[in-house]
Amino acid sequence: MKALVIGACGLIGRELMRSLVQNGHTAVGTSRRALTPHVIELDAANTETMQALLEAERPNWIFYSAGWSWVEECEHDPLRAEFQ
């Protein structure tokens, strides 16, 4: 099975990528800043690039572990926090 992990460089995404690969699955990850191998740079809020990635990769599973973890800014800008 092929998995797409959006937010693959965060705490949850990194562990999910490791677990998927360890269990014999193909895993493709994304991050705002691709910092590791097998991770594609992607702004998850950009629907055009997200659609292109989904069409190119055609994953069986999609895990969305991305998030904006700066609590104070999330409180000041709830609309942005909702889409990060």
pTM equals 0.80
Using alpha carbons, select from 23, 13, 18 the residue that is nearest to residue 64: 13
- Distance, CA of 27 to CA of 57 (rounded, Å): 10
* Tens digit of each residue's pLDDT, the chain (84 residues): 999 999 998 889 999 999 999 999 999 999 988 777 779 999 888 899 999 999 999 999 999 998 777 788 878 888 777 765
Question: What backbone torsions phi and psi does residue 30 show, to the nearest 5 degrees?
Answer: -130, 155
